[in-house]
């Protein structure tokens, strides 16, 4: 079974641990890439680690948590082939998978409740990309073959 890479900074640590527990409880295998303590760290370092796991083909999806999810998404989206979206609810989770083929779910520990984040993550991981007209739009963001 493919391990789902996840990471957070210090601000995102409590929500990351809650999401990790939830995923494991649902039978997923997770790869926790840190951070592991409350010491202050820099979120781009952790976004880079999850992005690298995806671009190396280790997993189709990753999870990033910081205070707002925004810094993680900005940082992750600088990596080729990454489409990271900040999620606040299940509707965003469904639509960003179906339309944007998002491959990293970002959450803000200071901006979302655990239950809502869990639900959004469940939907994110189970919603297929629709393809079709969305392929043309995604190709305008990441031209095929571009790295």
User: Which residues here bind ligand RB5, judged by CB under 6 A?
Assistant: 9, 11-12, 43, 66-68, 70-71
Taking the CA atoms of 47, 104, 118 and 92 in sequence, report the sign of the dihedral they define. Answer: positive
Q: Which position among 28, 79, 88, 99 bears the catalytic label? A: 99
| 79 classed as catalytic | no
Closest CA to 116 of 94, 89, 96: 89
Nearest approach in angstroms of CB 42 to ligand RB5 is 9
Provide, rounded to whole angstroms, the least separation between the CB of residue 108 and ligand RB5.
6
Catalytic residue at 134? no
Beta-strand runs (E) in the chain: 3-8, 29-32, 62-66, 84-86, 104-108
If the CB atoms of residues 62 and 67 are measured against ligand RB5, the closer one turns out to be: 67
Instruction: Return the active site residues.
Output: 66, 99
């Amino acid at each position: 079974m493919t391990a789902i890479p996840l990471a957070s900074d210090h601000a995102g640590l409590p929500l990351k641990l809650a999401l990790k527990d939830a995923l494991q409880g649902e039978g997923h295998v997770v790869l926790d890439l840190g951070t592991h303590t409350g010491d202050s760290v820099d979120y781009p370092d952790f976004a880079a680690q999850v992005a690298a796991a995806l671009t190396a083909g280790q997993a189709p999806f990753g999870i990033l948590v910081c205070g707002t999810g925004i810094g993680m998404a900005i940082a992750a989206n600088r990596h080729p082939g990454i489409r990271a979206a900040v999620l606040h609810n299940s509707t965003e989770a469904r639509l960003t998978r179906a339309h944007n083929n998002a491959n990293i779910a970002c959450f803000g520990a200071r901006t979302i409740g655990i239950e809502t984040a869990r639900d959004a993550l469940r939907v994110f991981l189970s919603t297929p990309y629709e393809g079709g007209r969305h392929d043309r739009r995604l190709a305008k963001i990441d031209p095929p073959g571009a790295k």
